[in-house]
Amino acid sequence: MTSDDGPTPAPPPRTLADHVAPALTSGTGFFRAPYHPATRRAVAALAVGWVWHLAAGLPLWIIVLVSAGLVPALGIGVPMLAFWLLLARRFGTAERARIARQTGVRVPAPGRRPAPARRTFWSRLWAPVRDDRAWSATLYAFLGMFTTSVFFSVAAALAAGAVAGMAFTLVGQDSSLAQWSGLPWAAVVVGALAAAVVLVWAAAALAQYGSYLVVRLATVLLGPSAAEVAHARAAAAEQETRVAEAAAHTARERAAVLTESRTAAVSAADTERRRIERDLHDGAQQRLVALGVELGVARRLADKDPEHAVAALELAHREIKETLAELRDLVRGIHPAVLSDRGLDAALSALAGRSPVPVRVEVTGDLTPASAAAQAAAYFVVAEALTNVAKHAAADMIRVHASLVPDGRPVRLRVAVSDDGRGGAELSAGSGLAGLRGRVAALDGTFELDSPPGAGTRLTVEVPCAS
């Protein structure tokens, strides 16, 4: 979206404070604080967290301290300390789930404790004691209890004061407070109402801030450690580097393939041009020269020897028909007219009709979405394959199947030619199959040849329809 002064800047990314405590980050969030969804989430999180921390967090903190104090006494507290630190880990897992459920903020889980090098009884016993994340969860149990207790109590007191102020405005004609303060009754009511409104806003903002502090404590003490975060960032950077290197390598390979395919396409086009030139010179041109000679003979003999003139004209007529047939075949080799007039389906049927080996053509769906270049490539692949089968395969049946493959972008035209001949076909340099592969590669297509000896040959070509 743009304006006269340039493109409209994108909105800033949503932060943790924007989600949990919008009353502290924007004026709109502050004015909407009493009825903002974040306030409802914050009050629920503080209330449930207060009960949860008093019931589970505070006892866990006390027992861990007691167990740690008993460790110097001949190590009596070590098993107790290891057990309760394991429970501290579970407490952290439960607290992360509660925070995600009530505030919508997902605190990442810390990494697993490193396994001891020697798995003896004492190494397994001391592993929880050396787990810094377990100690952090224990510290969170105390700080979370303190935070939820303070903020929930103060917010509840402010809300109760707001309710009292609201109730005072509905008392009626009781003027004792007005008489005591020396102010008119209306002024006292307005002041009480204003105080109630201020207390409501203060309670909402304080509840949001308390919830934000709890989430921040959980992120620091229950989430991954600084070393784990640094390691994760380094691993992510390394992964991005590998992906970039792989993409660069793929791009280089792609460029090499495109260069090779373009070179093959140019070479194939030059070879085709030379073939057409040779066919015209050796075939149609020589026939036209012979036709001129026969017509000249017929003209000279027209008066002197009419019978020989008629014979010369008949020979010239045959030459004309043969020349036309040869030119028709030559044009068909450049671009068949039936392909332009009636589509690939009819063109494949025409190829099958001229094949000396029986051919069964199967077309699935509508092939018209394929581009003219894709259909022409498929046509010449089938034509060359049918010629090779007739010459070399000694096959009894050929099957041609054409369809569109929709599971890709762009949609691809797939043509498969299979026979039951002797197999053993190879993509040798300079062969017709190699030329076809170059034609398909120039269109960014795929060319697969499967021809095990004695098991027939299957040729599969896929060409993008939008090529």
pTM: 0.50
Q: What is the pLDDT of residue 2?
A: 41
**Each residue's pLDDT tens digit, 186-201:** 665 666 677 777 888 8
* Distances 325 to 275, 280, 321 between C-alpha atoms, Å: 17, 13, 6
- 300 vs 377, residue with greater confidence: 377
Q: What is the mean pLDDT of residues 16-28?
A: 82
Among residues 463, 345, 448, the alpha carbon closest in space to that of 412 is found at 463
- Of the pLDDT bands very low, low, confident and very high (cuts 50, 70, 90), residue 274 is low
Q: What are phi and psi of 446, to 5 degrees?
A: -115, 150
- 126 vs 152, residue with greater confidence: 152
- 59 vs 165, residue with greater confidence: 59
Neighbours of 206 (CB within 10 A): 24
C-alpha span between 20 and 37 (Å, rounded)? 10
Mean pLDDT of the chain: 76
* Residue 7 pLDDT greater than 60, yes or no: no
Q: What is the DSSP letter of 282?
A: I
Q: What is the pLDDT of residue 1?
A: 41
C-alpha span between 421 and 457 (Å, rounded)? 7
Q: What is the mean pLDDT of residues 47-59?
A: 90
C-alpha span between 398 and 196 (Å, rounded)? 91
**Each residue's pLDDT tens digit, 162-193:** 777 666 666 544 545 544 554 555 665 666 67
Which residues contact residue 441 at a Cβ distance below 8 angstroms, ignoring those fewer than 6 apart? Answer: 257, 260, 261, 264, 265, 447
Encoded tokens for 425: 């076909």
